[in-house]
Amino acid sequence: MAIDGNWEITINSPMGAQKAKLELTAKDGALTGTQQAQGSSQPVANGKIDGSNVSWSANITSPLPMTLEFSGNVEGDTIKGSVKAGAFGSFPFSGSRA
């Protein structure tokens, strides 16, 4: 599944909808790129792609410092899954190609 390109996702957290932009590139099962949200940008870490399944993490500093761990599925121009936000639990996310 081609994931290369720009994506806009929304994380449905207890603090309300949190929007982020992704710039992703897949090569040989590895997923790299950047994630931008709340005025900051961080590299995608631990990125993997296996068929239509994707996963990555991002270290954020706002609203609290933590590592977000994403796991999802790409279908055409849509992506959805869940994100684990440290001790705060997991929340659904969804998005589409920008």
Say what the pTM is: 0.93
Please name which of 37, 24, 15, 9 lies closest in space to residue 93, comparing C-alpha atoms. 9
pLDDT tens digits, 39-67: 889 999 999 999 999 999 999 887 788 99
Fold of 5-97: Lipocalin (2.40.128)
Residue 38 has pLDDT above 90, yes or no: no
Average pLDDT of the chain is 93
For the residues 23-52, what does the mean pLDDT come to?
Answer: 94
Residue 1 has pLDDT above 70, yes or no: no
Domain residue extents for the chain: 5-97
